[in-house]
């Protein structure tokens, strides 16, 4: 391959960290690379909650266009930001080994008894908001947008008790605060902690190069989670969590999935373990279980409450 591989990325610190991680791995394989950073609509429009912007693809469509217009060769994303249906002409070439999948509550100050008192918690995620309110209905949840650094700054300058972050993002940047609580009860977003690399479907040389970075275990687990999400949401953003884990000792996959009403008052969940060879349609079947157990009605309720561009 004579020309350098042009690696497209958002220009936030975390996105650039991810792009440079891919760059380093490609360089270790002998490829020349070049980083191309762009701003997405999701980075530019910080004054409205994500669900009002049309969250599907808000962080990825700028790079999608750059790919299709041959201005970059690959795009690197946090996989949880990528729509479950990729644009025509774009394919997934690699999923990197997964980092920490859990969420963290970053506290503004030490507050050991905040759980039993009225408190304000910040997050820009409907999933986190609904799960938090389900567990702590006495709390208030406010919107929080921006990159990791700006969100940490807003928390420091606020009167909030804390804010919820993905552990992986903080860990990758070396910014995990001492005053943080791991939310092991909160079901993560589908594909949280995973990085994905996309390329043009007709660019076989690039696909061959990048596919060497793929981690099969992570690829299977996030496939299940995203299939669960796609089957449930039907084009509608909703508070949905999913986590598939591979157990090497038993050669099984355990799964936990959840969908909640926007206010957190209604919660439908399921968990199951299967042999790893049954993974291909597992997310679909588990989503159908949720839908048949009241999920259809709940999703109809959610669509009615969201802006029209979300349903």
The residues that are catalytic are: 81
User: Rounded to whole angstroms, what are the CA distances from 171 to 8, 25, 65, 197?
Assistant: 22, 19, 30, 20
Residues 6+ apart with CB under 8 A from 160: 108, 119, 120, 121, 122, 142
The one-character DSSP state at 293 is I
Q: Which two tokens stand for residue 221?
A: 């687990």
- Cα(288)–Cα(297) distance, integer angstroms: 13
> Among 259, 288, 253, which residue's Cα sits nearest to residue 272?
253
Residue 281 makes CB contacts below 8 A (sequence gap 6+) with 227
Compute φ and ψ for 47, nearest 5 degrees. -95, 0
- Up-side HSE of residue 68: CA atoms within 13 Å toward CB? 11
DSSP code per residue over 241-258: EEEEEEETTTTEEEEEEE
Distance separating alpha carbons of residues 216 and 70, to the nearest angstrom: 28
Q: Where are the alpha helices (DSSP H) in 91-177?
A: 126-135, 148-157, 167-172
Tokens representing residue 111 in the block: 């507050």
């Amino acid at each position: 391959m004579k020309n350098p591989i042009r690696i497209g990325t958002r220009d936030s610190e975390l996105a650039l960290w991810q792009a440079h991680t891919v760059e380093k791995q490609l360089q270790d394989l002998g490829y020349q690379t070049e980083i191309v950073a762009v701003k997405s609509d999701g980075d530019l429009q910080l004054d409205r909650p994500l669900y009002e912007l049309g969250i599907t693809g808000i962080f990825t469509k700028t790079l999608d266009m750059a790919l299709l217009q041959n201005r970059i060769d690959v795009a690197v994303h946090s996989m949880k930001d990528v729509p479950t249906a990729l644009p025509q002409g774009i394919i997934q070439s690699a999923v990197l080994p997964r980092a920490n999948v859990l969420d963290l509550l970053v506290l503004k100050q030490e507050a050991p008894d905040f759980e039993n008192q009225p408190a304000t918690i910040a997050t820009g995620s409907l999933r986190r908001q609904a799960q938090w309110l389900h567990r702590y209905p006495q709390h208030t949840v406010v919107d929080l947008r921006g990159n990791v650094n700006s969100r940490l700054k807003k928390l420091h300058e606020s009167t909030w008790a804390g804010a919820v972050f993905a552990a992986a993002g903080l860990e990758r940047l070396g910014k995990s605060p001492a005053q943080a609580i791991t939310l092991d009860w909160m079901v993560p977003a589908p594909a949280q902690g995973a990085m994905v690399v996309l390329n043009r479907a007709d660019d076989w040389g690039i696909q061959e190069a990048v596919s060497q970075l793929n981690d099969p275990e992570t690829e299977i687990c996030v496939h299940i989670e995203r299939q669960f999400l796609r089957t449930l949401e039907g084009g509608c953003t909703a508070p949905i969590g999913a986590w598939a884990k591979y157990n090497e000792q038993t050669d099984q996959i355990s799964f936990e999935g959840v969908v909640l009403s926007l206010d957190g008052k209604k919660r439908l969940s399921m968990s199951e373990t299967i042999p790893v060879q049954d993974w291909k349609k597992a997310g679909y079947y588990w989503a159908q279980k949720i839908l048949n157990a009241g999920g259809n009605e709940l999703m109809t309720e959610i669509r009615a409450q969201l802006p029209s561009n979300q349903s």
